Each structure stands twice: as C-alpha cells, then as structure tokens.
Amino acid sequence: MTLSEIVRQLDLKVLTFMPENDLEVRYGYASDLLSDVLGQAPPGALWVTLQCHPNVIAIASLLDLSAVLLVGGILPDQATLERGQETGVTILSTELPTFEIVGRLYQLGLRGSTRSCLDG
Amino acid sequence: MNGNARLEMRFQVNGNDFIQAGEASSKIKRTLQQIGIDSRVIRRVVISSYEAEMNITIHAYRGEILFTIWPNLIQIVAQDEGPGISDLEAAMQEGYSTAPENVRQMGFGAGMGLPNMKKNTDEMQIETEEGRGTRITMKIYL
Ligand SMILES: Nc1ncnc2c1ncn2[C@@H]1O[C@H](COP(=O)(O)OP(=O)(O)OP(=O)(O)O)[C@@H](O)[C@H]1O
Ligand SMILES: [Mg+2]
C-alpha cells in the first residue's frame, strides 16, 4: 500500500507534506519509547506515536521512516513542524487512539516486523 | 592508524541541549550516503551515534563525538565530561535508566540506548570514571 493511499483510506491529516515520489509502505511500528523505535522499527516503517517533539522527527529522519503518525488528535508545536519541513519527514495525524489506528493499518496490510511478514 | 584515515569529523555535544541533539548523527549519515556506504551499515552507524549523542545530552555536562572512517573500519568515539557511570553492569541491562522524569516524558529513558549501541556495533569499549566522565569507543567493520 502506498503512503498516499493510506492517508486517503484512513483520512489522515497531512501536517507537513507528502514525499514527491509516493512510497510503498509495508511495515508499521507503534511505540512511545524512542530507544525502542531505534532498536526495533523496521526500515521504512510508518511510526505510530503520541510523542511529539523535534527529536521524534530527528529519529524518523535518521532511520528513513516513511512517516510519523501522531495519534489522538495531537498537533505538533512549531519547532516540530519546522524540523519536519527541514528534514523532509512526513508528519501525519489522526483523531483515533493508538489501538484503533494500528488495527486499521493492519487491515490495510501493514505488518509489524520483517519476521512476522516472513511468517506470513 | 590516523595516517590513512579517509575522513574524520568532530562534533561538540552540549548537555541538556535537545534542540541541537541529533545533529552530529544526521551529518554523519549524510557523509556516509555521499561516499556510497551500504544503507544497512549507515543504519547501524546512525543508531549507535544517535544513542551516544543522546546519552551525552541527557546524562553528561558536555562532550564530543569523533567519527573516523578508514577503508575497512568506521569508528565512533563519544566522550564526555559528566558524572560517569557508577554501575556499568547495570547500565548495560535493558531497562536500567537513571533518566530524570522530564526526559522520560519525552520518551527517552527506556534504558535501551547502551544495549542498542552494543547490538549495532562490532566492538564497543566503555571507559568511565565517577565524577569525571565517560568515553565509549565503537567500531563497525566494513
Ligand atoms: N554518558 C553517560 N554519562 C553518565 N551516565 C550515563 C551515560 N550514558 C549512560 N549512562 C547511564 O547508563 C544508563 C543506561 O543508559 P542507556 O542509554 O542504556 O539508557 P537511557 O539513556 O537511560 O535511556 P534510553 O537510552 O533508552 O533513552 C543511563 O540511565 C545512565 O544512568
Ligand atoms: Mg540512552
């Protein structure tokens, strides 16, 4: 599923901008612990979190994550938005809480890790 | 060994500066991309350098990241002036953290930084002295 398709199907708000070339997104990772994301998030994953500050964007950029999806209607402050613009990280937002949005992403075919994907 | 280094970079890291934090790692990443290093290696390097950078930011007063690349080796040295690590064995365990509450609220303090550095590097050596500071040397072979 491409990022723009996910945004459309789940009615996500785009807070920065979409990548110039649409991305194929196969993995997701949901966590609010930053070192957990650094250690575990699959390359290119869509990161679901309620953490919202510039360091979150820095991590997404370092790991080449496909986007940061903020849950529960959280809106980032100006510094976080600017960091997203500067580093080209797509920041998305949903009104839904984590459990709900992750369930929907799973239904769209996203998986949590390389291993669970290989297991089928 | 410095004689034939392909490239050396040095970055200052200031304690408690969460705005600047991560800059060293993102510059290291850009450099590695420019010289065409494999993306899986880049990932291991930036995870390790970012964790080291954040540990200086969170736990120490000031420090620096020294990044060197040789034809077959990448080395990251993170050294700081700070409190040092009093119980190194505990610090290496996943889940052990002395991060203050305000930093935990940002999502740091899972106690997974040092384990992540260990997992993503081929060699990691920690020298630390209580009340003085810490130096972590990490190596990734190419
Ligand atoms: N440079 C340092 N100076 C002093 N103490 C440190 C330093 N680096 C790590 N420590 C100590 O080791 C502990 C474990 O470090 P580690 O990076 O694994 O976890 P953390 O920084 O607390 O949380 P996380 O990295 O998951 O956000 C820290 O909580 C701190 O007590
Ligand atoms: Mg840490």
What CATH number was assigned to the domain covering residues B7-141?
A: 3.30.565.10
Percentage of residues in chain A having pLDDT higher than 90: 93
Asked if A70 and A94 touch (Cβ cutoff 8 Å), the reply is yes
Identify which of B114, B120, B132 to mutate to test ligand 1's pocket (most ligand atoms within 8 A of the CB).
Answer: B114
B111 DSSP assignment:
S
| Minimal CA separation from A7 to chain B, in Å | 26
- Using pLDDT thresholds of 50, 70 and 90, give the confidence band for residue B41: very high
Locate the ligand 1 atom nearest the alpha carbon of residue B83 and give its number: 4
Give the pLDDT score at A120: 40
In this model, does residue B5 exceed pLDDT 90?
Answer: no
Sequence ranges of the domains in chain B: 7-141
Average pLDDT over all residues of chain B: 96
Q: Mean of the pLDDT values across residues B136-140? A: 98
- What value of ipTM does the predicted structure carry? 0.95
Q: Mean of the pLDDT values across residues B86-106? A: 97
Identify which of B49, B79, B81, B85 to mutate to test ligand 1's pocket (most ligand atoms within 8 A of the CB).
Answer: B85
CA pair distance A106, A60, nearest whole angstrom: 20
Q: Mean of the pLDDT values across residues A91-114? A: 95
**SS3 call for B42:** helix
Locate the ligand 1 atom nearest the alpha carbon of residue B85 and give its number: 5
The topology under which CATH files domain A3-113 is 3.40.1390
- Tell me the β-bridge partners of B81: B62, B133
Give the pLDDT score at A119: 46
CA pair distance A100, A27, nearest whole angstrom: 17
Task: List CB contacts (< 8 A) between A54 and chain B.
Answer: 18-19
Percentage of residues in chain B having pLDDT higher than 90: 96
Give the pLDDT score at B72: 95
How remote is the C-alpha of B106 from its chain's centroid?
A: 19
Ligand 1 contact via B22 beta carbon (within 6 Å): no
In this model, does residue B2 exceed pLDDT 60?
Answer: no
Sequence ranges of the domains in chain A: 3-113
Cβ separation A58–B26 shorter than 8 A: yes
User: What are the pLDDT digits (tens) for A53-90?
Assistant: 999 999 999 999 999 999 999 999 999 999 999 999 99
Q: Mean of the pLDDT values across residues A39-51? A: 96
Size of interface A-B (CB pairs under 8 A): 68
Average pLDDT over all residues of chain A: 94
In this model, does residue A116 exceed pLDDT 60?
Answer: no
Q: Mean of the pLDDT values across residues B37-54? A: 98
Cβ separation A63–B46 shorter than 8 A: yes
Locate the ligand 1 atom nearest the alpha carbon of residue B136 and give its number: 1
Six-digit token string for A82: 């600017």
In this model, does residue A114 exceed pLDDT 70?
Answer: no
